[in-house]
Structure 1
Amino acid sequence: MLKSSRLLLPMLAALLAPSALLADTHSATDPRIEALLGQLGKVREVREVALSPDGHQLAWVVETQGKPGIMLADADGKNAHSVGLATKPGACSENNLAWAPDSRHLAFLSNCAGDKADTGGRKQPEIYALDTQAPTKPARLSHLNGYVQAMSWAPDGKTLAFLYVEGGTRRASALAAAKPAIGEIGVEGVEVQRVAILSAQGGSLQQVTPAGSHVYEFAWAPDSARIAYVAAPPPGDNNWWVSQLYVQAAQPNASRASVVDPNTLSGPLHGLQVAVPRWSPDGSRIAFIGGLMSDQGFTGGDIYSVAASGGTPDDLTPGIHVTPSWFTWQSPQSLLVDQISNGNPQLAEYAVDAHHAQQQRVLFTAPGYVGDGSAILGLSFSADHRQVAFAQSSFELAPEVYAGPVGNAMPHAVTAFNAELKPSWGKAESVEWDNEGFHVQGWLLYPAHYDPSKRYPMIVNVHGGPSGAVMQHWPSVGYGAVPFSALGYFVFMPNPRGSYGQGETFVQANRKDFGYGDLRDTLAGVDAVEKKVPVDEHRLGLTGWSYGGFMSMFAPTQTQRFRAVVAGAGISNWQSYYGENLIDQWMIPFFGASVYDDPAVYAKSSAINFIKKVKTPTLIVVGERDAECPAPQSFEYWHALRTLGVPTSLVVYPNEGHHFYNPVNQRDVLQRALNWFETYLPPQ
């Protein structure tokens, strides 16, 4: 959930000695847990997929021994081989694929030949270009000093653009561990991400967007002379929620025009977020997704269109009951939209004019999460949009690369590097129910080795966001709900109001109402599940991360149905949270005002204000340098439970942010959660 920031944490050193940070919660470890963790560690993640513009070649990035490497193959996956500078898979890191329009040159980032390292020992990646039709080594194009992502060639192939943080000390993402909060806060050490360009022949880069503007994403115009981009004043972690859509010439010191400013608009887009800008084929208009989004990067909303010169945006898809997350222009009159519908990603074709977009047909519904690595639900198309490629996984199938023609069927897998992995958890089922006028969907995992004659405990997992959705996916080592099924639990993963997949009205239904309507939806879903399968009502558990961590803290103040809780990176007190974090901009669209203007709406959803109602044993876990859900929120909840005599444990993971990157910590946090539920909700 959320995205960004950080606060002072001097209390950590005083309250917890370093040796206590990772002290064992329980001394005994179920051997099945170690076996499960070992299985999860075998998956090779597909980070990126890129189809050449002519549709003849396919490249992807796959992890080997935790390091990303590049594979190149024919479009059908045949003749796959490693390319790049790595002498062997897993030796160094290569990623960030970008095909040139000529379908011959493939740009990428590599730190395999890096001779510079930052204070953390990370080597500086450089940009290389591989000629896929010549037996020559990749040519180095850059001499960088900073972080690079989102490389994209201009349509004429003469220039390569990318997002660049000069002198960056961390990845430009609120999921990353925050910088130490020292010096003059908000003034010193601010890092700005800008659009930079580089000639196809290499040389010195030029930063083209203003130094006082943090850019989150951009797109080339068809004429290769202009760019559109979403940006806000720095710090970037905080201000995505008030960003604007700009257009300017793709050259340094060019003037720019704000073509969409949601903060000054009237109508449905007022005060909301914009993302995924896409130029129309003739360059006259820019389409984008606008809506209530709690995370930069997890896009969802309606599709809008605005003249490239500015004006009032048109909502092209008002009232739809799906959530567009990514799209591309197929022609001047049609869009290909990857959208979430009832917990599933589906690719649909829309007819479009200046004021409306109408779904014509669904090309395919994927059985699990899809993506090309560029964005949530991003897809890689050939230039004529007749071929598509992406990575996909589900609860049943580990990640593979899929590619094939665009039509009325899901493309087939063209790789098999995870083919030997089989789920050790139970089967998955979509569950749907109605509550208070809303249609709601969720996912149910059966226990491994399910016996319908037995009664089972069930763990309810609430997703982050709240603007997000649970879609089928293969789990990795780290915190997640799927592994609980392997140990004999039903696992229920609802998509209550506030989630993507039922339209924008559904997404906005929990504004100023955190923890109430969405909790009622979740409990109604539990009731629906209990009517279907033999769940033991007296052995219900609750867990979640981020917004799900908040719900795991708040729900026990409203109901006693849950008998054990694991709260990951949660929020216990929205009022103190507002002043502790540096991402307060995200809160106003959801709460309607700042905490200083309307403290009551924040108090209403703060677990700490109802803490004496909590009786549930609760494990609390959080990263020491979490920029989205600062650790003091977990301290506050833990301190209250300990004072009230409620069984509790708090584990703070050193140097971790909102997303854990250290493999040791990824394994530890999952193991602790599994142990906690086994203690308080033992399967029989």
Structure 2
Amino acid sequence: MTQNPLKAKKIVDRTVPRTPVISRDGSLVAFEVAPWGYKGESASKAIWLSRNREPARAFTSGAAVDSEPAFSPDGTKLAFLSNRNDEKKTQIFLLPLDGGEATALGKIDGELEALKWSPDGAELAVLRRQPETKKRKKKNKKRDDAIVVDGEPRYNRLFMLDVETGKKREVDSGDRELWDYAWSPDSSQIAYLTSEETGFDAPMARGDIWLVDREGAEPRHLVEFDQTPMFPVFVTGPNGLALAIRKNGFRAHPAESIYLVDLESGACVDLLPEFPGNVEGIRPLDEIEGAVAIHTAEGVHTGLYRFDVRTGERTSILPDELTSNGAFPYTPSVTPNGESVAVLWSDSDVPEEIYLVEDAEAPVKLTEFGKDFAGKLLPSETISWQSDDLEIFGLLTLPERDDDAPLPLVVQIHGGPSWQWQDNCFLDWHDWTQYLVSRGFAVLTPNPRGSTGRGSEFQRRLIDDVGGGEMRDVIAGAQALVDRGIADPERLGVGGWSWGGYLTAYTITRTQMFKAAVMGAGLSNMISDHGTDDIPSANLSYYPGQPYHHLDEYWESSAIKHITNCVTPTLIVHGEADDRVHVTQGAEMYRALKVLDVPVEFVRYPREPHGFKERNHQIDLLTRIGDWFEKWLKPESAADEDNSSPGS
């Protein structure tokens, strides 16, 4: 029996929940709901609400973008961000939970994010991107709009608004980019994280932590890091009130860990130096002295623990059915006593839904957004294989079939490279597993060396070996499935997005085992990429230094250097507004393959950044990928006409 192919349109048009938040008493859960792709210039987004474990319902509606729901500490109001009054301006709105209309708070608008209540409920804080100056706006209207790179930086600023009066005040953070912040439990202080970079490379820049009193005293510098930390949370440490943060290392992004920062001395201690995974996020547990909640990635699964910063003790606060199966990509929301959790969870064959967990008991499902796919998706299994001296893990998903004959196999490589495939549902334009499986392909999603979820040593394996070992891991995974009789050696495909696109391009210039490839938003020339990438330091950390001093190392790890070895038919897809990996990276690969008479197709998508936004482009992309692998790996099977048209 074979499965009916899924329609690209149905995948892209599905509505998905995101970022659940829970009220302090655990009785309310709110979250964002939106389709995958935009039908206009932006996607409408609504807020849904569940009360007392009941199925969630829409709480806001219309064409506006409503986002970042946040419950007041007393549970009577919901604050959120919206452009409902002006599609070009986002404002803060307050909505009574017992009924009434949403009203705008204060006179602050623009590019807003990171909305957070003070614990006493008196104020709301928010980050706002500095608007263009009146002079710049006036010149733009006259088309006198020359841009000096780094000449007019627009920083994120932190504002606090009085909930009763709407009066606002700004924290003076200087000429620095402000990334995140946290209120102290008594609302008397705010800790905030900054870097001195804006524009290109800002996310990778040196970072600082500052403390400021709520009443507006001069901010106090606490500590400096070689890279911007994230997720600040106040907690009682061994020496009194401290700050827990997640910090990345700089050199090849050693696995993210949780650190404790002393508020007096600024001393910083790694609390999980030997942890064989990654800390993905941190949440406060204000009613449990000395504890925070940490979201972890371990192998292909995720965990949520109550973590004592004084003893290092970890206790799971989710049932095994949510941690031993499936995964949750976003850090769950937890009540201050740690007894109730709102989590977005999915399994390989179960689309993402919102669940409520109380006292680590069986989860209560609050949504049914994936019901149209019930029984239409197939489960993955975790497999492993040997590569050099390493055991490599990945997820294998097989199509329904009538016999045990070897299958056409597609290996989809993840981006990052500091990222990982988890055991969740791959059902969108970016993650092709379920779509390709429904079209009769086996799909392997490997986590080669350099991936997260296995600790620092495993991630550091890429240092001074870009492309090398990770490519061998991918090849070894495909060969293992050939050896097991699962994959047909004459029908092997490979593809990926971002770094996955890079490793695809590099792999097909070093081996001819793959008969079709899809290079999505990938790098082809590490030297030229360094000059156009908006975060060049991300790749710099894997090399001995800047490319201007180490041309040989960068060139050796570039697909273009080895391009004359390539015979693999290749589909190149790229967004024309991609600042992360410039579209010229795809153009270089296309020109080279075209000159060498290798079958190649290059599709450029107007307006699209590194992550595609527009519905029609997502549908077209997913359909083209399926058709490309169908053409080269299943030549005896004509693509279904419906499935092949970009609008299907």
The TM-score, its normalising length taken from structure 2, stands at: 0.88
Name the residue aligned to 2:644: none
Counterpart among 123, 135, 160 of residue 88 in structure 2: 123
Partner Cα separation in structure 1 for residue 339 and residue 296 of structure 2: 19
> Quick check: 1:53 aligned with 2:18?
no
Q: CA 1:393–1:304 in structure 2 vs 1: closer, same or farther (change >3 Å)? A: same
**Distance in 1 separating the partners of 2:15 and 2:559:** 39
In structure 2, distance between residues paired with 1:256 and 1:320:
34
Q: Which residue of 1 aligns with 2:354?
A: 401
- Counterpart of 1:160 in structure 2 is 124
Whole-angstrom distance in 1 between the partners of 2:588 and 2:630: 25
Matched, 1:136 2:100: yes
What is the deviation of 1:547? Answer: 0.3
In structure 2, the residue matched to 1:83 is: 59
What is the alpha-carbon distance in structure 2 between the residues aligned to residue 504 and residue 262 of structure 1?
A: 18
CA distance in structure 2 between the partners assigned to 1:416 and 1:97 by the alignment: 20
Name the CA distance, whole Å, in 2 between partners of 1:619 and 1:254: 57
Look up the match of 2:302.
345
Distance 1:683 1:218 in 2: 55
Given the alignment of the two structures, is residue 111 of structure 1 paired with residue 83 of structure 2, yes or no? yes
What does residue range 611-630 of structure 1 map to in structure 2 within 5 Å? 611-630=563-582
Please name the residue that 1:214 is paired with.
177
Partner amino acid for 2:501? G
Question: How many Å apart are 1:284 and its aligned residue?
Answer: 2.2
Listed one character per residue, the Cα deviations across residues 341-385 of structure 1 (whole Å, up to 9, x for unaligned) are 1111122343331xx6244557441633325xxxxx311111211
The DSSP-based 3-state class of the residue aligned with 1:142 is strand
Give the letter aligned to residue 219 of structure 2: R
- Distance in structure 2 (CA, Å) of the matches to 1:634 and 1:628: 13
**Contact residue 91 and residue 109 of structure 2 kept, 8 A:** no
Gaps of 5+ in 2: 134-142, 637-648
The 5-angstrom pairing of residues 422-437 of structure 1 reads 422=374, 424-437=376-389
Match of 1:74 among 47, 51, 59: 51
**TM-aligned CA deviation for residue 150 of structure 1:** 1.5
Corresponding letter in the other structure for 1:124? K
Q: 2-side partners of 1:71 and 1:294: how far apart?
A: 41
The amino acid across from 2:347 in the alignment is S
Matches within 5 A, 1:229-268: 229-249=192-212, 254-263=217-226
> Would the alpha carbon gap of residues 530 and 452 (structure 1) be closer, same or farther in structure 2, given more than 3 Å must change?
farther
Q: Secondary structure at the match of 2:506?
A: helix
**1: distance between equivalents of 2:315 and 2:386?**
27
Please give the alpha-carbon distance, in whole angstroms, between the structure 2 residues aligned to 1:583 and 1:484: 32
Give the letter aligned to residue 415 of structure 1: T
The offset of 1:337, in angstroms, is 1.9
Three-state SS of the structure 1 residue aligned to 2:464 is coil
For residues 262 and 604 of structure 1, do their structure 2 counterparts lie closer, same or farther at Cα, with a shift above 3 Å needed? farther
Change (3 A) 1:250 1:491: farther
Map of 1:554-633 to 2, 5 A cutoff?
554-633=506-585
Aligned residue for 1:421?
373
Counterpart CA distance in 2 for 1:597 and 1:226 is 45
Report the Cα distance in structure 1 between the residues aligned to 2:348 and 2:277, rounded to whole angstroms: 22
| Equivalence for 1:22 | none
Q: 1:119 corresponds to which residue?
A: none
Look up the equivalent residue of 1:611 and give its one-letter code: I
Aligned residues: 611
- How has the CA–CA distance of structure 1 residues 559 and 255 changed in structure 2, closer, same or farther, with 3 Å as cutoff? farther
Write the distance in 1 (CA, Å) between the matches of 2:369 and 2:592: 48
Secondary structure at the aligned position of 1:521 is classed as helix
Partner residue, 1:392: 345
Q: Which of the pair has the greater relative contact order for Cα pairs under 8 Å at 6+ separation?
A: 1
Residue 648 (structure 1) aligned with residue 600 (structure 2):
yes
Match of residue 9 from structure 2: 38
Task: Give 1:500 deviation, angstroms.
Answer: 1.1
Matched, 1:94 2:66: yes
SS at 1:464 equivalent: coil
The alpha carbon displacement at 1:527 in A equals 3.0
Task: Report how far residue 248 of structure 1 moved.
Answer: 2.4
Q: Which residue identity does 1:43 align to in structure 2?
A: R
Q: 1:614: Cα distance to partner?
A: 1.0
Shift of 1:556: 1.1
Report the residue type matching 1:127 in the other structure: I
Percent of aligned positions that are identical: 27
Partner of 2:564, secondary structure, is helix
What SS does structure 1 have at the residue aligned with 2:531? helix
Amino acid at match of 1:586: A
Give, in whole Å, the separation in 1 of the partners of 2:174 and 2:485: 58
Distance in 2 (alpha carbons) for counterparts of 1:435 and 1:606: 22
Equivalent in the alignment of 1:379: 332
Which runs of no fewer than 5 residues in structure 1 stay unpaired? 1-30, 117-121, 170-179, 264-271, 372-376
CA RMSD of aligned residues (A): 2.8
Q: Secondary structure at the match of 2:64?
A: coil
2:326–2:345: 8 Å Cα contact kept in structure 1? yes
Shift of 1:278: 1.6
1:63 alignment partner AA: A
Corresponding residue for 1:18?
none
Alignment of 1:130-529 (within 5 A): 130-133=95-98, 135-167=99-131, 183-249=146-212, 254-263=217-226, 272=227, 274-281=229-236, 284-292=241-249, 301-330=256-285, 331-353=288-310, 357-360=312-315, 363=318, 364=320, 365=323, 367-371=325-329, 377-407=330-360, 409=361, 411-422=363-374, 424-447=376-399, 449-482=400-433, 483-529=435-481
What is the TM-score normalised by the length of structure 1? 0.83
* Aligned counterparts of 2:324 and 2:228: Cα–Cα separation in 1: 27
